[in-house]
Structure 1
Protein backbone atom coordinates (compact mmCIF):
# COMPACT_ATOMS: atom_id res chain seq x y z
CA UNK A 1 0.00 0.00 0.00
CA UNK A 2 2.80 2.37 0.86
CA UNK A 3 4.56 1.61 -2.44
CA UNK A 4 1.29 2.22 -4.25
CA UNK A 5 0.89 5.64 -2.58
CA UNK A 6 4.45 6.57 -3.56
CA UNK A 7 3.73 5.50 -7.15
CA UNK A 8 0.54 7.57 -7.22
CA UNK A 9 2.38 10.61 -5.84
CA UNK A 10 5.19 10.30 -8.38
CA UNK A 11 2.67 9.81 -11.17
CA UNK A 12 0.82 12.95 -10.11
CA UNK A 13 4.04 14.97 -10.06
CA UNK A 14 5.03 13.76 -13.53
CA UNK A 15 1.61 14.55 -14.98
CA UNK A 16 1.68 17.97 -13.32
CA UNK A 17 5.07 18.72 -14.84
CA UNK A 18 3.83 17.60 -18.26
CA UNK A 19 0.84 19.92 -17.98
CA UNK A 20 2.99 22.84 -16.84
CA UNK A 21 5.52 22.19 -19.60
CA UNK A 22 2.75 22.08 -22.19
CA UNK A 23 1.39 25.40 -20.95
CA UNK A 24 4.82 27.04 -21.20
CA UNK A 25 5.32 25.60 -24.69
CA UNK A 26 2.00 26.99 -25.96
CA UNK A 27 2.73 30.36 -24.33
CA UNK A 28 6.20 30.50 -25.90
CA UNK A 29 4.90 29.57 -29.35
CA UNK A 30 2.18 32.21 -29.19
CA UNK A 31 4.60 34.92 -28.08
CA UNK A 32 7.12 34.03 -30.81
CA UNK A 33 4.56 33.59 -33.57
CA UNK A 34 3.77 37.29 -33.78
CA UNK A 35 0.03 36.62 -33.70
CA UNK A 36 -0.10 38.62 -30.47
CA UNK A 37 2.25 41.61 -30.06
CA UNK A 38 4.96 41.04 -27.45
CA UNK A 39 3.75 44.20 -25.71
CA UNK A 40 0.60 42.32 -24.72
CA UNK A 41 1.98 38.76 -24.50
CA UNK A 42 5.68 38.73 -23.61
CA UNK A 43 7.56 35.44 -23.63
CA UNK A 44 7.99 33.39 -20.43
CA UNK A 45 11.70 34.24 -20.47
CA UNK A 46 10.92 37.97 -20.55
CA UNK A 47 8.50 37.64 -17.63
CA UNK A 48 11.01 35.64 -15.57
CA UNK A 49 13.71 38.20 -16.36
CA UNK A 50 11.40 41.00 -15.19
CA UNK A 51 10.48 39.02 -12.08
CA UNK A 52 14.15 38.66 -11.12
CA UNK A 53 14.76 42.35 -11.89
CA UNK A 54 11.89 43.44 -9.64
CA UNK A 55 13.27 41.35 -6.79
CA UNK A 56 16.31 43.63 -6.65
CA UNK A 57 15.12 46.97 -8.10
CA UNK A 58 12.43 49.36 -6.93
CA UNK A 59 9.25 49.89 -8.92
CA UNK A 60 6.27 51.95 -7.74
CA UNK A 61 7.97 52.68 -4.44
CA UNK A 62 9.53 49.33 -3.61
CA UNK A 63 10.93 46.03 -4.80
CA UNK A 64 8.71 43.02 -5.48
CA UNK A 65 9.62 41.70 -2.03
CA UNK A 66 8.59 45.02 -0.44
CA UNK A 67 5.22 44.96 -2.18
CA UNK A 68 4.60 41.32 -1.30
CA UNK A 69 5.55 42.09 2.30
CA UNK A 70 3.01 44.91 2.47
CA UNK A 71 0.35 42.64 0.98
CA UNK A 72 1.10 39.84 3.42
CA UNK A 73 0.88 42.25 6.35
CA UNK A 74 -2.60 43.29 5.24
CA UNK A 75 -3.55 39.68 4.64
CA UNK A 76 -2.37 38.67 8.11
CA UNK A 77 -4.49 41.43 9.64
CA UNK A 78 -7.69 40.62 7.73
CA UNK A 79 -7.32 36.85 7.89
CA UNK A 80 -6.35 36.90 11.55
CA UNK A 81 -9.39 39.04 12.38
CA UNK A 82 -11.65 36.65 10.45
CA UNK A 83 -10.26 33.69 12.42
CA UNK A 84 -10.53 35.45 15.78
CA UNK A 85 -14.15 36.41 15.17
CA UNK A 86 -15.45 33.64 12.91
CA UNK A 87 -14.32 30.52 14.77
CA UNK A 88 -15.55 31.50 18.27
CA UNK A 89 -18.78 32.87 16.85
CA UNK A 90 -19.37 29.69 14.84
CA UNK A 91 -18.82 27.51 17.91
CA UNK A 92 -21.11 29.67 20.02
CA UNK A 93 -23.82 29.56 17.35
CA UNK A 94 -23.46 25.78 17.23
CA UNK A 95 -24.09 25.55 20.98
CA UNK A 96 -26.55 28.37 21.76
CA UNK A 97 -29.74 28.08 19.71
CA UNK A 98 -30.81 31.65 20.56
CA UNK A 99 -27.57 33.11 19.21
CA UNK A 100 -27.90 30.95 16.10
CA UNK A 101 -31.40 32.29 15.47
CA UNK A 102 -30.25 35.89 15.94
CA UNK A 103 -27.09 35.80 13.81
CA UNK A 104 -28.00 33.41 10.98
CA UNK A 105 -30.52 35.63 9.11
CA UNK A 106 -28.11 38.57 9.03
CA UNK A 107 -25.14 36.36 8.16
CA UNK A 108 -27.02 34.65 5.32
CA UNK A 109 -27.97 38.04 3.90
CA UNK A 110 -24.44 39.43 4.01
CA UNK A 111 -22.22 36.45 3.13
CA UNK A 112 -23.33 36.38 -0.52
CA UNK A 113 -22.08 39.92 -1.10
CA UNK A 114 -18.79 39.68 -3.01
CA UNK A 115 -15.84 41.09 -1.04
CA UNK A 116 -14.99 43.42 -3.92
CA UNK A 117 -18.42 45.02 -3.50
CA UNK A 118 -17.18 46.47 -0.19
CA UNK A 119 -14.41 48.40 -1.95
CA UNK A 120 -16.39 51.68 -2.27
CA UNK A 121 -17.14 51.64 1.46
CA UNK A 122 -13.54 50.76 2.27
CA UNK A 123 -12.30 53.67 0.14
CA UNK A 124 -14.76 56.09 1.77
CA UNK A 125 -14.10 54.94 5.34
CA UNK A 126 -10.36 54.26 5.26
CA UNK A 127 -8.95 55.88 2.11
CA UNK A 128 -5.72 54.19 1.03
CA UNK A 129 -4.75 53.19 4.56
CA UNK A 130 -4.40 49.65 5.84
CA UNK A 131 -7.97 49.54 7.19
CA UNK A 132 -9.64 49.30 3.77
CA UNK A 133 -7.84 46.17 2.52
CA UNK A 134 -8.18 44.53 5.94
CA UNK A 135 -11.92 45.13 5.82
CA UNK A 136 -12.19 43.57 2.35
CA UNK A 137 -10.01 40.57 3.28
CA UNK A 138 -12.17 40.06 6.37
CA UNK A 139 -15.30 40.11 4.18
CA UNK A 140 -13.86 37.31 2.04
CA UNK A 141 -12.27 35.20 4.79
CA UNK A 142 -14.91 35.47 7.52
CA UNK A 143 -17.77 33.32 6.10
CA UNK A 144 -15.77 30.06 5.67
CA UNK A 145 -14.34 30.42 9.20
CA UNK A 146 -17.78 30.78 10.74
CA UNK A 147 -19.53 28.17 8.60
CA UNK A 148 -16.95 25.43 9.17
CA UNK A 149 -16.69 26.09 12.91
CA UNK A 150 -20.49 26.01 13.13
CA UNK A 151 -20.69 22.81 11.08
CA UNK A 152 -17.98 21.15 13.15
CA UNK A 153 -19.78 22.05 16.38
CA UNK A 154 -23.05 20.62 15.07
CA UNK A 155 -21.36 17.29 14.27
CA UNK A 156 -19.85 16.86 17.73
CA UNK A 157 -20.43 13.40 19.22
CA UNK A 158 -23.84 13.57 20.97
CA UNK A 159 -22.76 10.85 23.42
CA UNK A 160 -19.95 13.05 24.71
CA UNK A 161 -22.31 15.98 25.00
CA UNK A 162 -24.88 13.93 26.88
CA UNK A 163 -22.25 12.53 29.25
CA UNK A 164 -20.90 16.01 29.95
CA UNK A 165 -24.39 17.31 30.63
CA UNK A 166 -25.02 14.51 33.10
CA UNK A 167 -21.85 15.53 34.94
CA UNK A 168 -23.04 19.14 35.08
CA UNK A 169 -20.28 20.52 32.84
CA UNK A 170 -20.68 24.31 32.38
CA UNK A 171 -21.22 25.78 28.91
CA UNK A 172 -17.73 27.27 28.73
CA UNK A 173 -16.07 23.88 29.23
CA UNK A 174 -18.54 22.20 26.87
CA UNK A 175 -17.45 24.57 24.13
CA UNK A 176 -13.71 24.48 24.78
CA UNK A 177 -13.32 20.79 25.69
CA UNK A 178 -15.95 19.07 23.54
CA UNK A 179 -17.16 21.25 20.67
CA UNK A 180 -13.80 22.79 19.77
CA UNK A 181 -11.81 19.50 19.61
CA UNK A 182 -14.62 17.89 17.60
CA UNK A 183 -14.73 20.83 15.20
CA UNK A 184 -10.95 21.11 14.62
CA UNK A 185 -10.83 19.08 11.35
CA UNK A 186 -13.72 21.10 9.93
CA UNK A 187 -12.15 24.36 11.11
CA UNK A 188 -8.80 23.58 9.48
CA UNK A 189 -10.51 22.68 6.20
CA UNK A 190 -12.39 25.98 6.41
CA UNK A 191 -9.17 27.89 7.01
CA UNK A 192 -7.81 26.71 3.65
CA UNK A 193 -10.89 28.05 1.88
CA UNK A 194 -10.83 31.20 3.97
CA UNK A 195 -7.15 31.88 3.25
CA UNK A 196 -7.67 31.45 -0.50
CA UNK A 197 -10.64 33.80 -0.59
CA UNK A 198 -8.87 36.30 1.66
CA UNK A 199 -5.75 36.37 -0.50
CA UNK A 200 -7.81 36.85 -3.67
CA UNK A 201 -9.83 39.59 -1.99
CA UNK A 202 -6.63 41.35 -0.93
CA UNK A 203 -5.34 41.62 -4.48
CA UNK A 204 -8.68 42.99 -5.65
CA UNK A 205 -8.63 45.55 -2.86
CA UNK A 206 -5.08 46.67 -3.63
CA UNK A 207 -5.99 47.29 -7.24
CA UNK A 208 -8.22 50.11 -6.01
CA UNK A 209 -7.63 51.20 -2.41
CA UNK A 210 -3.92 50.88 -1.70
CA UNK A 211 -0.73 52.84 -2.29
CA UNK A 212 1.58 49.86 -1.75
CA UNK A 213 1.34 46.11 -2.22
CA UNK A 214 1.44 43.68 -5.10
CA UNK A 215 -1.93 44.80 -6.49
CA UNK A 216 -0.80 48.43 -6.47
CA UNK A 217 2.42 47.44 -8.23
CA UNK A 218 0.42 45.70 -10.94
CA UNK A 219 -1.79 48.77 -11.45
CA UNK A 220 1.33 50.92 -11.86
CA UNK A 221 2.69 48.37 -14.32
CA UNK A 222 -0.53 48.60 -16.31
CA UNK A 223 -0.27 52.41 -16.31
CA UNK A 224 3.26 52.13 -17.70
CA UNK A 225 2.12 49.56 -20.29
CA UNK A 226 4.53 47.06 -18.75
CA UNK A 227 2.88 43.69 -19.26
CA UNK A 228 5.94 41.91 -17.89
CA UNK A 229 5.53 43.78 -14.59
CA UNK A 230 1.87 42.81 -14.36
CA UNK A 231 2.64 39.17 -15.10
CA UNK A 232 5.58 39.14 -12.68
CA UNK A 233 3.15 40.37 -10.03
CA UNK A 234 0.77 37.55 -10.92
CA UNK A 235 3.59 35.03 -10.44
CA UNK A 236 4.32 36.51 -7.02
CA UNK A 237 0.63 36.26 -6.07
CA UNK A 238 0.50 32.64 -7.18
CA UNK A 239 3.66 31.66 -5.28
CA UNK A 240 2.51 33.21 -2.00
CA UNK A 241 -0.98 31.75 -2.39
CA UNK A 242 0.50 28.31 -3.03
CA UNK A 243 2.77 28.56 0.03
CA UNK A 244 -0.19 29.54 2.26
CA UNK A 245 -2.26 26.62 0.98
CA UNK A 246 0.59 24.10 1.34
CA UNK A 247 1.22 25.16 4.94
CA UNK A 248 -2.47 24.86 5.86
CA UNK A 249 -2.70 21.53 4.02
CA UNK A 250 0.21 20.14 6.03
CA UNK A 251 -1.44 21.32 9.25
CA UNK A 252 -4.69 19.66 8.19
CA UNK A 253 -2.95 16.37 7.34
CA UNK A 254 -1.06 16.37 10.65
CA UNK A 255 -4.26 16.92 12.65
CA UNK A 256 -6.18 14.23 10.75
CA UNK A 257 -3.28 11.80 11.11
CA UNK A 258 -3.10 12.47 14.83
CA UNK A 259 -6.82 11.74 15.13
CA UNK A 260 -6.54 8.57 13.06
CA UNK A 261 -8.72 10.00 10.30
CA UNK A 262 -6.11 9.86 7.55
CA UNK A 263 -3.57 7.32 6.41
Structure 2
Protein backbone atom coordinates (compact mmCIF):
# COMPACT_ATOMS: atom_id res chain seq x y z
CA UNK A 1 0.00 0.00 0.00
CA UNK A 2 1.40 3.38 -0.99
CA UNK A 3 2.02 5.93 1.73
CA UNK A 4 0.24 9.28 1.51
CA UNK A 5 2.46 12.22 0.65
CA UNK A 6 3.33 14.57 3.49
CA UNK A 7 2.11 18.16 3.11
CA UNK A 8 5.67 19.41 2.63
CA UNK A 9 6.41 16.77 -0.02
CA UNK A 10 3.14 17.57 -1.80
CA UNK A 11 3.88 21.28 -2.03
CA UNK A 12 7.49 20.68 -3.12
CA UNK A 13 6.23 18.52 -6.00
CA UNK A 14 3.57 21.10 -6.88
CA UNK A 15 6.11 23.93 -7.01
CA UNK A 16 8.56 21.79 -9.02
CA UNK A 17 5.88 20.92 -11.59
CA UNK A 18 4.78 24.56 -11.88
CA UNK A 19 8.34 25.83 -12.34
CA UNK A 20 9.04 23.13 -14.94
CA UNK A 21 5.90 24.10 -16.86
CA UNK A 22 6.82 27.78 -17.09
CA UNK A 23 10.45 26.93 -17.86
CA UNK A 24 9.31 24.83 -20.82
CA UNK A 25 7.00 27.66 -21.91
CA UNK A 26 9.87 30.17 -21.92
CA UNK A 27 12.13 27.65 -23.65
CA UNK A 28 9.55 27.08 -26.39
CA UNK A 29 9.53 30.80 -27.11
CA UNK A 30 13.31 31.07 -26.94
CA UNK A 31 13.67 28.26 -29.50
CA UNK A 32 11.00 29.86 -31.74
CA UNK A 33 8.68 26.86 -31.69
CA UNK A 34 5.86 29.28 -32.49
CA UNK A 35 5.62 32.89 -33.72
CA UNK A 36 5.35 35.46 -30.88
CA UNK A 37 1.81 36.46 -31.86
CA UNK A 38 0.65 32.87 -31.39
CA UNK A 39 2.60 32.05 -28.21
CA UNK A 40 3.08 35.03 -25.89
CA UNK A 41 5.44 34.89 -22.94
CA UNK A 42 3.91 34.03 -19.53
CA UNK A 43 4.63 37.51 -18.19
CA UNK A 44 2.91 39.02 -21.24
CA UNK A 45 -0.21 37.00 -20.42
CA UNK A 46 0.00 38.19 -16.81
CA UNK A 47 0.27 41.83 -17.91
CA UNK A 48 -2.73 41.35 -20.22
CA UNK A 49 -4.73 39.83 -17.37
CA UNK A 50 -3.99 42.87 -15.19
CA UNK A 51 -4.88 45.19 -18.08
CA UNK A 52 -8.22 43.48 -18.73
CA UNK A 53 -9.27 43.88 -15.12
CA UNK A 54 -10.25 47.49 -15.85
CA UNK A 55 -9.89 47.88 -19.63
CA UNK A 56 -12.91 46.67 -21.67
CA UNK A 57 -12.49 44.07 -24.39
CA UNK A 58 -15.47 42.93 -26.49
CA UNK A 59 -17.62 45.44 -24.63
CA UNK A 60 -16.71 44.53 -21.05
CA UNK A 61 -13.84 44.12 -18.61
CA UNK A 62 -12.67 40.66 -17.55
CA UNK A 63 -14.62 40.73 -14.23
CA UNK A 64 -17.76 41.75 -16.13
CA UNK A 65 -17.35 38.87 -18.59
CA UNK A 66 -16.81 36.52 -15.64
CA UNK A 67 -19.91 37.85 -13.88
CA UNK A 68 -22.02 37.34 -17.03
CA UNK A 69 -20.82 33.74 -17.34
CA UNK A 70 -21.38 32.99 -13.67
CA UNK A 71 -24.91 34.40 -13.83
CA UNK A 72 -25.78 32.09 -16.73
CA UNK A 73 -24.07 29.16 -15.04
CA UNK A 74 -25.87 29.78 -11.75
CA UNK A 75 -29.26 29.76 -13.46
CA UNK A 76 -28.63 26.67 -15.60
CA UNK A 77 -26.84 24.62 -12.96
CA UNK A 78 -29.21 25.69 -10.19
CA UNK A 79 -32.20 24.64 -12.28
CA UNK A 80 -30.54 21.30 -13.09
CA UNK A 81 -29.93 20.61 -9.40
CA UNK A 82 -33.39 21.76 -8.29
CA UNK A 83 -35.07 19.50 -10.84
CA UNK A 84 -32.61 16.62 -11.10
CA UNK A 85 -32.04 15.80 -7.43
CA UNK A 86 -35.69 15.60 -6.29
CA UNK A 87 -36.67 13.80 -9.48
CA UNK A 88 -33.83 11.29 -9.10
CA UNK A 89 -34.75 10.58 -5.47
CA UNK A 90 -38.42 10.23 -6.40
CA UNK A 91 -37.58 7.84 -9.24
CA UNK A 92 -35.58 5.76 -6.77
CA UNK A 93 -38.63 5.50 -4.49
CA UNK A 94 -41.59 5.33 -6.88
CA UNK A 95 -41.24 2.42 -9.30
CA UNK A 96 -43.99 3.71 -11.59
CA UNK A 97 -42.29 7.11 -11.95
CA UNK A 98 -39.03 5.35 -12.74
CA UNK A 99 -40.68 3.26 -15.46
CA UNK A 100 -42.32 6.30 -17.05
CA UNK A 101 -39.31 8.67 -17.07
CA UNK A 102 -36.34 6.35 -17.62
CA UNK A 103 -37.02 5.49 -21.31
CA UNK A 104 -37.40 9.16 -22.23
CA UNK A 105 -34.45 10.24 -20.10
CA UNK A 106 -32.18 7.53 -21.51
CA UNK A 107 -32.80 8.84 -25.00
CA UNK A 108 -32.38 12.52 -24.18
CA UNK A 109 -29.30 12.29 -21.95
CA UNK A 110 -27.10 11.06 -24.80
CA UNK A 111 -27.75 14.24 -26.80
CA UNK A 112 -24.66 16.41 -26.43
CA UNK A 113 -25.38 19.82 -24.88
CA UNK A 114 -23.91 21.56 -27.94
CA UNK A 115 -26.61 19.88 -30.05
CA UNK A 116 -29.14 22.11 -28.28
CA UNK A 117 -27.40 25.26 -29.56
CA UNK A 118 -29.60 25.63 -32.70
CA UNK A 119 -32.78 25.42 -30.63
CA UNK A 120 -31.34 27.78 -28.02
CA UNK A 121 -30.48 30.31 -30.71
CA UNK A 122 -33.91 30.02 -32.34
CA UNK A 123 -35.91 30.15 -29.13
CA UNK A 124 -33.93 32.68 -27.09
CA UNK A 125 -31.52 34.46 -29.46
CA UNK A 126 -28.57 35.92 -27.53
CA UNK A 127 -30.56 36.32 -24.31
CA UNK A 128 -29.88 34.48 -21.08
CA UNK A 129 -32.35 31.69 -21.89
CA UNK A 130 -30.18 30.07 -24.57
CA UNK A 131 -27.06 29.48 -22.45
CA UNK A 132 -29.26 28.49 -19.51
CA UNK A 133 -30.88 25.76 -21.61
CA UNK A 134 -27.51 24.43 -22.78
CA UNK A 135 -26.02 24.45 -19.27
CA UNK A 136 -29.13 22.65 -18.00
CA UNK A 137 -28.73 20.02 -20.74
CA UNK A 138 -25.16 19.37 -19.60
CA UNK A 139 -25.68 19.42 -15.83
CA UNK A 140 -29.09 17.77 -15.48
CA UNK A 141 -28.25 14.12 -16.34
CA UNK A 142 -25.46 13.67 -13.72
CA UNK A 143 -27.61 15.32 -11.04
CA UNK A 144 -30.54 13.00 -11.72
CA UNK A 145 -28.53 9.81 -12.26
CA UNK A 146 -26.46 10.15 -9.07
CA UNK A 147 -29.48 11.07 -6.95
CA UNK A 148 -31.30 8.04 -8.38
CA UNK A 149 -28.37 5.71 -7.71
CA UNK A 150 -27.95 7.09 -4.21
CA UNK A 151 -31.63 6.44 -3.47
CA UNK A 152 -31.54 2.92 -4.91
CA UNK A 153 -28.47 2.01 -2.84
CA UNK A 154 -29.96 2.99 0.52
CA UNK A 155 -29.85 0.06 2.93
CA UNK A 156 -33.18 -1.74 3.19
CA UNK A 157 -33.11 -1.70 6.99
CA UNK A 158 -33.36 2.09 7.01
CA UNK A 159 -36.39 1.98 4.75
CA UNK A 160 -37.99 -0.74 6.87
CA UNK A 161 -37.38 1.30 10.01
CA UNK A 162 -39.00 4.37 8.43
CA UNK A 163 -41.98 2.29 7.36
CA UNK A 164 -42.40 0.80 10.85
CA UNK A 165 -42.40 4.31 12.32
CA UNK A 166 -45.19 5.31 9.96
CA UNK A 167 -43.21 7.61 7.69
CA UNK A 168 -44.97 8.50 4.45
CA UNK A 169 -43.35 8.83 1.03
CA UNK A 170 -42.40 12.50 1.45
CA UNK A 171 -40.77 11.94 4.84
CA UNK A 172 -38.98 8.84 3.59
CA UNK A 173 -37.53 10.73 0.65
CA UNK A 174 -36.49 13.83 2.63
CA UNK A 175 -35.38 12.21 5.89
CA UNK A 176 -34.09 8.81 4.77
CA UNK A 177 -33.22 8.74 1.07
CA UNK A 178 -31.73 12.23 0.82
CA UNK A 179 -29.35 12.03 3.83
CA UNK A 180 -28.20 8.54 2.83
CA UNK A 181 -27.68 9.59 -0.79
CA UNK A 182 -25.67 12.77 -0.01
CA UNK A 183 -22.27 11.40 -1.14
CA UNK A 184 -23.74 10.22 -4.44
CA UNK A 185 -25.66 13.48 -4.90
CA UNK A 186 -22.52 15.55 -4.32
CA UNK A 187 -20.65 13.43 -6.85
CA UNK A 188 -23.41 14.17 -9.33
CA UNK A 189 -23.22 17.89 -8.56
CA UNK A 190 -19.47 17.93 -9.14
CA UNK A 191 -19.80 16.13 -12.46
CA UNK A 192 -22.80 18.26 -13.43
CA UNK A 193 -20.99 21.48 -12.52
CA UNK A 194 -18.02 20.50 -14.68
CA UNK A 195 -20.20 19.57 -17.65
CA UNK A 196 -22.37 22.63 -17.15
CA UNK A 197 -19.38 24.98 -17.06
CA UNK A 198 -17.93 23.40 -20.20
CA UNK A 199 -21.32 23.64 -21.88
CA UNK A 200 -21.57 27.30 -20.92
CA UNK A 201 -18.31 28.20 -22.63
CA UNK A 202 -19.40 26.37 -25.78
CA UNK A 203 -22.77 28.12 -25.69
CA UNK A 204 -21.20 31.54 -25.30
CA UNK A 205 -19.13 30.97 -28.41
CA UNK A 206 -22.37 30.96 -30.41
CA UNK A 207 -25.42 32.31 -28.58
CA UNK A 208 -24.09 35.05 -26.29
CA UNK A 209 -22.82 38.59 -26.70
CA UNK A 210 -20.81 38.58 -23.47
CA UNK A 211 -19.11 36.11 -21.14
CA UNK A 212 -15.87 34.14 -21.18
CA UNK A 213 -16.68 32.15 -24.31
CA UNK A 214 -17.55 35.32 -26.21
CA UNK A 215 -14.36 36.96 -24.96
CA UNK A 216 -12.25 34.11 -26.30
CA UNK A 217 -13.86 33.96 -29.73
CA UNK A 218 -13.65 37.73 -30.15
CA UNK A 219 -9.99 37.66 -29.12
CA UNK A 220 -9.29 34.84 -31.57
CA UNK A 221 -10.85 36.88 -34.38
CA UNK A 222 -8.56 39.79 -33.46
CA UNK A 223 -5.49 37.47 -33.25
CA UNK A 224 -5.09 38.54 -29.61
CA UNK A 225 -3.59 35.29 -28.36
CA UNK A 226 -2.65 36.75 -24.98
CA UNK A 227 -6.31 37.65 -24.39
CA UNK A 228 -7.38 34.15 -25.45
CA UNK A 229 -4.98 32.67 -22.88
CA UNK A 230 -6.23 35.04 -20.18
CA UNK A 231 -9.75 33.82 -20.90
CA UNK A 232 -8.68 30.19 -20.71
CA UNK A 233 -6.89 30.75 -17.40
CA UNK A 234 -9.94 32.52 -15.97
CA UNK A 235 -12.24 29.70 -17.12
CA UNK A 236 -10.01 27.09 -15.47
CA UNK A 237 -9.70 29.11 -12.25
CA UNK A 238 -13.46 29.59 -11.96
CA UNK A 239 -14.00 25.87 -12.54
CA UNK A 240 -11.61 25.02 -9.70
CA UNK A 241 -13.38 27.45 -7.35
CA UNK A 242 -16.78 25.96 -8.21
CA UNK A 243 -15.49 22.45 -7.46
CA UNK A 244 -13.99 23.59 -4.14
CA UNK A 245 -17.30 25.18 -3.12
CA UNK A 246 -19.21 21.99 -3.91
CA UNK A 247 -16.74 19.92 -1.89
CA UNK A 248 -17.22 22.29 1.05
CA UNK A 249 -20.97 21.86 0.68
CA UNK A 250 -20.43 18.11 0.89
CA UNK A 251 -18.52 18.48 4.16
CA UNK A 252 -21.28 20.63 5.63
CA UNK A 253 -24.00 18.19 4.60
CA UNK A 254 -22.09 15.16 5.90
CA UNK A 255 -21.35 16.97 9.16
CA UNK A 256 -25.04 17.80 9.56
CA UNK A 257 -26.05 14.24 8.68
CA UNK A 258 -23.66 12.70 11.21
CA UNK A 259 -24.55 15.20 13.95
Question: What TM-score does the superposition give when structure 1 sets the normalisation length?
Answer: 0.93
Q: Tell whether the 8 Å contact from 1:31 to 1:38 is kept in structure 2 after alignment.
A: yes
Query: What is the Cα-based RMSD across aligned positions, in Å?
Result: 1.6
Specify which of 58, 61, 73 is matched with residue 59 of structure 2.
61
Q: Which runs of 5+ in 1 are unaligned?
A: none
C-alpha distance in 2 between matches for 1:208 and 1:182: 41
SS of the residue 2:209 aligns to: coil
Assess, with a 3 A threshold, how the Cα gap between structure 1 residues 240 and 26 changes in structure 2: closer, same or farther: same
Match of 1:193 in 2: 191
C-alpha distance in 2 between matches for 1:34 and 1:81: 48
Q: Which runs of 5+ in 2 are unaligned?
A: none
Superposed, 1:230-241 pairs within 5 Å as: 230-241=228-239
C-alpha distance in 2 between matches for 1:155 and 1:106: 23
C-alpha distance in 1 between matches for 2:132 and 2:152: 30
Match of 1:120 in 2: 118
Match of 2:225 in 1: 227
Q: Tell whether the 8 Å contact from 1:122 to 1:209 is kept in structure 2 after alignment.
A: yes
Q: Tell whether the 8 Å contact from 2:80 to 2:136 is kept in structure 1 after alignment.
A: yes
Question: What TM-score does the superposition give when structure 2 sets the normalisation length?
Answer: 0.94
C-alpha distance in 1 between matches for 2:247 and 2:166: 37
Q: Tell whether the 8 Å contact from 1:189 to 1:252 is kept in structure 2 after alignment.
A: no
Q: CA deviation at 1:111?
A: 1.0
Assess, with a 3 A threshold, how the Cα gap between structure 1 residues 8 and 258 changes in structure 2: closer, same or farther: farther
Match of 1:162 in 2: 160
- Tell me the number of residue pairs that the alignment of Structure 1 and Structure 2 aligns: 256
Match of 2:175 in 1: 177
C-alpha distance in 2 between matches for 1:18 and 1:115: 38
Match of 1:247 in 2: 245
Superposed, 1:44-193 pairs within 5 Å as: 44-193=42-191
